[in-house]
Structure 1
């Protein structure tokens, strides 16, 4: 993971995914932010504005050190499904390279629901089963189980989240050439116009509802422009 995201292709991927997330949540000022799987590259995009940034990295990735604020390591090794955090600790949760390799996605999502604050928001970002990146085995997106948009929305609905928006990203081919990496944003524009269902990654945002009914989230509108999702007010604070 670290080697990929340090490469020119990984840097281009980070730019695209970070742009999607900051369009959606702004700078998450004053909010508590958790990244699961390998979300360190996109957590960096929010800078120091959140009150807390923590990266939960699977134990089998080996030691990972991340010190975004100069206050010591902000990563936590996670050895099984259970997350080592108190209930309702995080206002925002990003899952990147986490769901594809989960042996029990429903149990994984239950734990995410537990540590998310009431009315908190999460984004599931997973390799698109129909995209080229799911076949690119030399990248992290070619590992584990890819997902479709409908599968992610159904999983979230069953897990008592209400889907609020979704989008696709990574329309550029998974090739580490200057023609691709330097023009990543241009590939995004063309891809959305010509083949909107073939982005390499599907992103789905959902809000934690304490009393959501199963099946309710699947009826939420879907859009390629994730920025239409209105950030929730969490614990009396507005995100900007």
Structure 2
């Protein structure tokens, strides 16, 4: 069951939530340190994270209709909209970067969500997906947004992306400390993040994957090219591409 966006915002207003957001923002900046002039789309509940690039990039947050909306963090202006994650209201090849946080594990149709991300991502763009790790404690902590929806192991996430014509370029993990609510115990977070990858990497709370578009296997869109949609592999997308007419312009 998907968590409501306002419940997610409430979590990120707690001491545990603020620490979680700060830690995850550092991971994102490590993967994408330079974003000047780029366009960034956040799918899911991304307000606590997108604002790290607000000074240099054009950021838009999309909240799926089933989650509802929540305000951006105080003092952080941003553009957001409520829509269906499987039918994004943007043209093809619109964004340089896309992040999914609380956007895949809670999606009603995860594969369709990733197909739409593929469509609106530029050919040289990058995607980051953050999901709860199936083996980690955070996937079972219903007091946090990561304890709702479908968790993934690192291997499952990689196979899902690869099957939808993404190529995984980098993988990372985060949140090795249990989801403590006691403020004194939160001091263990830093130690856990340093020791966790060495002692028990498979039990991280989050699985993080950065991917690019795999351009091999594309076929002409034929008559449907008028919509500027790119069809990749009929069987994967579940669509039947019509043969292009000789006089038609091929995308």
CA deviations on 1:20-40 (whole Å, 9 max, x unpaired) are 110111141111111111111
Contact 2:105–2:132, Cα closer than 8 Å, also in 1: yes
Q: Match for residue 39 of structure 1?
A: 46
Q: Which residue of 2 aligns with 1:88?
A: 93
Moved over 6 A (4+): 67-71
1:136 paired residue among 121, 141, 161: 141
Looking at CA atoms only, which structure, 1 or 2, has the larger radius of gyration? 2
| Counterpart for residue 222 of structure 2 | none
Instruction: Check if 1:58 corresponds to 2:58.
Output: no
Using the size of structure 2 for normalisation, the TM-score is 0.79
Partner Cα separation in structure 1 for residue 34 and residue 66 of structure 2: 30
Give 1:68-147 correspondences, 5 Å limit.
74-79=79-84, 81-147=86-152
For 2:185 and 2:100, the matched residues in 1 are separated by 25
Inter-partner Cα distance in structure 1 for 2:145 and 2:100 = 13
Closer/same/farther in 2, CA of residues 68 and 54 from structure 1, 3 Å limit:
farther
Structure showing greater relative contact order (alpha-carbon pairs closer than 8 Å, 6 or more residues apart): 1
Shift of 1:64: 2.5
User: Unmatched 5+ residue regions in structure 1?
Assistant: 215-240
- The answer to whether the 8 Å contact 1:161/1:209 transfers is yes
1:202 corresponds to which of 196, 199, 207: 207
- Name the CA distance, whole Å, in 1 between partners of 2:73 and 2:137: 33
Q: Which runs of 5+ in 2 are unaligned?
A: 1-7, 219-231, 233-251
Quote the RMSD (CA, aligned, Å).
2.0
Name 2:180's counterpart in structure 1: 175
TM-score w.r.t. structure 1 length? Answer: 0.82
What is the CA-CA distance between 1:119 and the residue it aligns to?
1.4
Verify the 8 A CA contact 1:161 1:212 in the aligned structure 2.
no
2:186 and 2:62 map into 1 onto residues whose CA distance is: 28
Residues 11-50 of structure 1: pairs in structure 2 closer than 5 A: 11-50=18-57
Contact conserved, 1:16 with 1:184, CA < 8 A, in 2? no
